[in-house]
Amino acid sequence: MVLHITTPLTDSTIRRLKIGDRVLISGKIYTARDTVHKLLYDLIVRNKQLPVDLTGQVIYYAGPAPTKPGYTIGPIGPTTAGRCDRYTPALLELGLKGMLGKGSRSVEVIKAIRKNKAVYFAVTGGAAGLIAKSVRSVKTVAFPELGPEAINELDVRDFPAIVAIDSRGNDLYESGPREYRKTCKKEDL
């Protein structure tokens, strides 16, 4: 079963999500890679206002490739989420509710996800062209000097992802391999 969810994310939506759930996300999401995360973190430390209100929002760890004529956006595949782990707990404290990326997360981020009732979605690497088809519009909203690494607001429809870490701290990157090993052992008997 595939769940259709919309942004901004609500607590009731987040509570019903479990690791392994396939989702199609519609609404606004924001791109932000590690450089932007450092800039946002520096603003937080200096008690300055962020250029985007993160309450209920979703950040996609990505920067689009150049857009060809006739397309809304260039290919936009996920980057490794762990590159942003140092800064993520502070953003979750400010109301960020969802993250889209690839790869596992640190223990500190998982604790912050659980504490702040957020969710981490895995996005398939290598599918950047297909993912771009779910983007209906794109607008740079902060740090335009960073080019493709700026914060872009994407209006998406049916953006595909999988719940990798749910709000209870269940981690597909930890439980998935464990379940696979159990299955392999049973089949070997």
- Which residues participate in catalysis according to the annotation? 37
What is the full DSSP assignment across 42-97? HHHHTTPPPSS--TT-EEE---PPPPPTT-SS---PPPBGGGGTTTHHHHHHTT--
3-state secondary structure of 153: strand
User: How is residue 111 annotated by DSSP?
Assistant: H
Would strands 151-165 and 119-122 be described as parallel, antiparallel, or unpaired?
A: antiparallel
* CA end-to-end span of the chain: 31
Burial class (CB in 10 A: 0-12, 13-18, 19+), 105: buried
